[in-house]
């Protein structure tokens, strides 16, 4: 691979762009992307990304290896920034279905700041506080170009968010407790999709009353033994 192609890959804006390039080269490969996020009331949080594919043949595998999409060092370079920290990268082959996975664990100080990273520059993360302390969170899923005989039904993207509060409204496809999940096939994304949720964040927990009671009891017990010792 020449230097211009390497430079091009290093400037990728988001991992989806590379993943969309893959089917153009491998034709029959199946691609999937899964993003799970745990949000905290202050907008910070942690994220795990898992993208995987099943190679159509050995030749397609060689092409993908050269792209560096499943190279841990390349992955770290793409996701690491002053706004986010890559905690772990795990690339492995699943022998049960012959798929190759890349799993990235990362944390961020504020989800809005991910907009300033190369990987997520087109995701338009928004975490805005409204009247009454309600939070409106949204994320854009950019359109993905098709072509080269790609079967759009074989490409899926899934986003799962765990929300730190009472969920007031959302456009998720599935709800489980405080977790919201959105799932799209490539053909459904079209010109892009927006996922959103409005919630009332949990307040910082106040010290429970029983803590004060227990502390008072311990203090009284200490005083009792001190007085008893002094009398003796």
**pLDDT at position 18, please?**
47
Q: Kindly list the domain boundaries of the chain, sorted by start residue.
A: 3-203
Residue 179's DSSP bridge partners are 162, 176
**How far is residue 47's CA from residue 14's CA, in Å, rounded to a whole number?**
15
**pLDDT at position 21, please?**
45
**How far is residue 165's CA from residue 92's CA, in Å, rounded to a whole number?**
35
**pLDDT at position 11, please?**
39
**pLDDT at position 109, please?**
92
**pLDDT at position 149, please?**
45
- The tens-digit pLDDT sequence of the chain (232 residues) is 554 444 444 434 334 444 444 444 444 456 788 999 999 999 999 999 998 887 767 777 777 777 777 888 888 888 888 888 999 999 998 888 878 899 999 999 999 999 888 788 889 999 999 988 999 999 999 886 544 444 556 678 999 999 999 999 999 999 999 999 999 987 788 889 999 999 999 875 444 455 667 777 778 887 877 777 676 6
Nearest 5°: the CA angle 86, 94, 92 is: 30
**How far is residue 133's CA from residue 68's CA, in Å, rounded to a whole number?**
44
Q: Which CA distances in Å does 69 have to 34, 81, 100, 169, 214? A: 15, 18, 11, 36, 55
């Amino acid at each position: 691979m020449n230097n211009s192609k390497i430079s091009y890959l290093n400037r990728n804006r988001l991992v989806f762009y590379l993943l969309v390039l893959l089917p153009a080269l491998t034709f029959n490969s199946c691609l999937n992307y899964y993003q799970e996020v745990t949000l905290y009331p202050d907008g910070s949080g942690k994220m795990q990304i898992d993208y995987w594919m099943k190679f159509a043949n050995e030749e397609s595998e060689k092409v993908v290896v050269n792209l560096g999409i499943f190279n841990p060092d390349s992955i770290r370079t793409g996701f690491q920034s002053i706004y986010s920290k890559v905690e772990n990268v795990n690339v492995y082959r699943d022998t049960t279905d012959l798929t190759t996975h890349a799993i990235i664990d990362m944390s961020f100080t504020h989800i809005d700041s991910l907009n300033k990273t190369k990987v997520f520059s087109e995701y338009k993360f928004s975490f805005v506080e409204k009247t009454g302390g309600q939070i409106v969170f949204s994320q854009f899923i950019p359109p993905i170009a098709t072509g080269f005989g790609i079967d759009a039904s074989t490409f899926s993207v899934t986003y799962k968010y765990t929300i730190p509060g009472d969920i007031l409204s959302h456009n998720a496809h599935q709800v489980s407790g405080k977790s919201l999940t959105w799932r799209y096939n490539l053909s459904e994304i079209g010109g892009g999709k927006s996922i959103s949720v409005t919630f009332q964040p949990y307040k910082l927990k106040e010290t429970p009353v029983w803590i004060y009671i227990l502390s008072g009891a311990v203090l009284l017990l200490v005083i009792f033994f001190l007085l008893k010792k002094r009398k003796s």
